[in-house]
Amino acid sequence: MTFLESLGSPADLRRLDASECDVLAKEIRDYLITTVSGTGGHLGPNLGVVELTMGLHRTFESPRDTIIFDVGHQAYVHKLLTGRREEFSTLRQRDGLSGYPSRTESDHDVVENSHASASLSWADGIAKARQLTGERDRHVVAVIGDGALTGGMAWEALNTIAADTSTPPRRLVIVVNDNGRSYAPTVGGFAAHLDELRTLSGYEKLLSWGKETLRQSGRPGRAAYSAIHGVKRGLKDMVSPPETGMFDELGIKYLGPVDGHDLPSVEKALQLAKQFDGGPVIVHMITQKGHGFDPAVNDDADQFHSVGVIDPVTGKSTPSKSTSWTSVFGTEICEIAEERKDIVAVTAAMLLPVGLAKFAEEFPDRVFDVGIAEQHAVASAAGLSFGGLHPVVCIYSTFLSRAFDQVLMDVALHRQGVTFVLDRAGITGPDGASHHGIWDIAMLRVVPGLRLAAPRDAARLTEELREAVTVEDAPTVVRFPRGSVGADIPALRRLDDGVDILRERPTGSESHVLIVSVGPFARLAGDVADRLAEQGLSATIIDPRWVLPVPESVIGLAAAHSLVAVLEDGVKIGGIGSQIRSDLREADSRIGVLELGVPDEFLPQGTREEILTEVGLDVDTIVSEILRALPAEVADRADQSARRAV
């Protein structure tokens, strides 16, 4: 039995000696490489925190001590150390192990939200609660990366944490996992401060000093920390670490930097932080993303931040022969930027995932990566627009909610021409509840003047993107899903207000169902129409292209049918279907509207197809819903017609 196989809980880990821990660290890395290569997932971040996570669980007693992982995609090692090795082959699969912390899996998991920069706020609140309830023997530990520290929410929390003067002090430890990257190299002023510690003159001297000081220190609590802090201050003239001074000014005690891959140093630093009785402590760990796996370390793009199925030896994946929505956007935005010098791109630490790599290469002065700071990205885009440029803000759909106030009050209220490109819209699959992009339509529907496009194929994506960037007095949105774009779906004709007719009822037949297809559901709509035809029901399929506001012709077409069925890849509450229902009501129309979207709930992980079937967005369920919603006399006539045809 390997050491990894013998671990049932963190208590088992604490019984191992130093040499056994070295073996365990290698076993964990080998296991991660083998397993994640087969399932896909966040490989690089987890290879980088093996010793760090082992040190946490050897020093603190989870779940009595609360350990919070910011974002949480680096919690695979934590899962292995808390008794979930046997389920690891199901990682990110339907009914399997989540790729993030999950309360349903373990008491050791606390914060499931996989949106960055929230850990310090959670830690602040939990630590305050522990203080007020008299549980001073329970620590709260937040693990946050240098990438997540680019988010404003983290600094709001630090401001509050630093200002606390309560007595007795709270037991709060902040571990900064500094690997210099989020998806790609971390950007911004704070990143520049941390980067100075990685220079030959600064980082190595401080790291050497840190190891030696930790080795020599045996005194607990405030005395040990004061000694270390005094030595560090004495070295300031030699290395002058700017971020130390920043934390000093905030009033938060700082310990480090520590080699995050040297387990004895990690444990010693965490023990000192645990014993310190003077308030919150920051422990600065230097780690390497992808550590121990050469293909990841040598990958300049993202060091295997998130991988699909790969070869566990070479790290190579099977090249995809299909074209992704993201790549179509990435190519088109470069062509538009070549034609228009006012086009600039803005993203929030997601340059590569949203397809801006080529744009950054061709127009380096016209792309702005602001770090994990969506609020700043959107408000800054409003300023860019006011200054005479047309910014294109590129983020995942799920992250737009973090900047809703700025979309509403900074862009829409000021009538600034800003285009939002929302990648991974709709049901996304294996990343689970927090990454499904199903709320953007309902959220944006209430923004005055906003126009939203949902392309059904690659041709419409390029077309609608070009239309979006011509709008200079209001926010525009182009949303598309994850994955392959598929073949183009041509229209029979286009109406004056831009609505595409994809299928019309046969001449002379009764008008039964108007299917309004939103975005990539056009192909599904066609399959539904085919099945309805088998039962004698005719269907007209339309793609509004620009779904907000609803084009007037949609309301006119609805009046000629017995039922409107709206297929959309977003929550039904507040979606396009509910908007059409509202518009029909205002037009005094009594045509029934069947809203076929996603239920208003947090959806699990799984493939897109699995989840669509589960929520009733498959052909069989949709046809059944339509038959149930049609007026009885219409369904009867259609049934009789179908029988006569047979």
Active site residues: 289, 374, 402
Q: Is the pLDDT score of 208 beyond 70?
A: no
Mean pLDDT of 430-448: 91
Per-residue pLDDT, averaged over 59-72, amounts to 93
Please tell me the predicted confidence (pLDDT) of residue 227: 40
For the structural domain made of 325-479, what CATH number should be given?
A: 3.40.50.970
Among residues 283, 284, 281, which one has the least CA distance to residue 250? 281
CB 427 within 8 A of CB 603: yes
Give the mean pLDDT of the chain: 86
Residue 498: CB atoms within 10 Å: 16
Contacts for 54 with CB less than 8 Å, ≥ 6 apart: 13, 21, 24, 25, 28, 77, 81, 263, 266
pLDDT of residue 202: 46
As a whole number, mean pLDDT of residues 185-209 equals: 52
Nearest C-alpha neighbor of 376 from the set 333, 347, 353: 347
Cα–Cα–Cα angle for 17, 145, 246, rounded to 5 degrees:
105
With respect to CATH, is domain 45-75+100-292 assigned 3.40.50.970?
yes
356 pLDDT band, cuts 50/70/90, is very high
> 147 versus 627: which is more confidently predicted?
627
DSSP 540-570: EEEE-SEEESPPHHHHHHHTTSSEEEEEEEE
Per-residue pLDDT at 187: 55
Given pLDDT bands bounded at 50, 70 and 90, which one contains residue 193?
A: low
Q: Does residue 231 carry a pLDDT above 50?
A: no
Out of 443-447, 482-486, 633-637, least confident range: 633-637
Comma-separated ranges of CATH 3.40.50.970 domains in the chain? 45-75+100-292, 325-479
Binding residues for thiamine diphosphate: 73, 114-116, 147-148, 179, 293, 374
- CATH code matching the domain that covers 493-645, chosen among 3.40.50.920, 3.30.10.20, 2.160.20.10, 2.40.160.10: 3.40.50.920
Q: Is the pLDDT of residue 302 over 80?
A: no
**What is the per-residue pLDDT across 95-133, written as a single tens digit (0 to 9) for each?**
888 877 888 888 999 998 778 889 999 999 999 999 889
Mean pLDDT of 349-362: 94
Pinpoint the residues of the chain covered by CATH 3.40.50.920: 493-645
Q: Report pLDDT for 206.
A: 52
pLDDT range class, residue 594, cuts 50, 70, 90: very high
Q: Looking at the whole model, is its pTM more than 0.95? A: no
Q: Encode pLDDT of 509-525 as tens digits.
A: 778 999 999 999 999 99
Give mean pLDDT, residues 491-504: 96
Percent of residues, the chain, with pLDDT higher than 70: 86
